[in-house]
Amino acid sequence: MSEVATAIEVNCETGEVTERPLTAEEISQREADAAAAAARQAEEDAKAAADAEAKAALLTKLGITADEAKLLLA
Amino acid sequence: MANTFVKIASVTVGSGGASSIDFTSIPGTYTDILVKLSGRCTTGTIRNLYMNLNSDTGSNYPFRFLYGNGSSAGSSNSTSEGFSDVAWVGYLGGSTITASTFGNVEIYIPNYAGATYKSISSDSVYENNATAAYASMHAAIWNSTSAITSLTLKANSGNLAEFSTATLYGIKSS
């Protein structure tokens, strides 16, 4: 079930708080924001996975464990 | 130096959450404004907090920020991110972070009612009983000479969760 898309508006002059549905423009913007964030997260995840893979490959090539590598660099 | 804080308005999100919090009709009688937000989001793990001013959704908010998340640190900006139609002002945790914990965001806008472009600085941190939790510092500018009369806070995805609270303060120079 999708979430209800509402905005809470606080009028600073009167103190009145109202809840209203998002406008079509706001909904469209919200969808664009979500898509951009998902793309960014996918990019970060892919980079993290590639880094981890490269690190593991290097350790294998050197024939040492991660703890031994830490010891070398300490 | 600004030294007097006045609470202009405060709101707490009710059950079901809210897509955004809008402060409208902000009086122009202060020197600076400050927003303090305690919040979390209803979906995901890491959520970005965005801000628009005066309902302007044009590409008028170039920003940059630094962050640390427990295992790495980094930085980015609106050019690298590919958008500037919102000011990215912080991180919040989503539904998968430790239950009942809320993050903090503080946003400062000096000279908000003046006729120059508006600088925005903010910092954020959220709680999580796990390795990853974000802390960040942000800077942005709103490319507009209009006085700020409204501001909108929203997550990049999902809703602001129930009990999230935003308070707007006005600050007057002595």
Domain coordinates of chain A in residue numbers? 6-73
- The ipTM (two decimal places) reads 0.87
Model confidence, pTM: 0.87
B168: closest chain A residue by CA: A12
Residues A15-39: pLDDT tens digits?
A: 999 999 998 888 888 888 888 878 8
Residue pair B108/B99 in contact (Cβ under 8 Å)? The answer is no
Say whether pLDDT at B42 is over 90: yes
Say whether pLDDT at B2 is over 70: no
Q: What is the percentage of chain B residues whose pLDDT exceeds 70?
A: 98
Beta-carbon separation of B86 and A33 below 8 A: yes
Is B131 an interface residue toward A (CB < 8 Å)? Answer: no
What pLDDT was estimated at residue B74? 92
What pLDDT was estimated at residue B174? 59
Say whether pLDDT at A6 is over 70: yes
Say whether pLDDT at B139 is over 50: yes
**B110 exposure class (CB count in 10 Å sphere: 0-12, 13-18, 19+):** middle
Beta-carbon separation of B16 and A40 below 8 A: no
Strand partners, B9: B168
Strand, helix or coil for residue B153 = strand
What pLDDT was estimated at residue A1? 47
Q: Mind listing the domains of chain B with CATH numbers?
A: 2-173 (2.60.120)
Chain A residues 11-50 with a CB less than 8 Å from chain B: 11-15, 17, 19, 22, 25-26, 29-30, 33-34, 36-38, 40-41
Say whether pLDDT at A50 is over 60: yes
User: Residue A15 is nearest to which of B9, B21, B159, comparing CB atoms?
Assistant: B9
What pLDDT was estimated at residue A10? 96
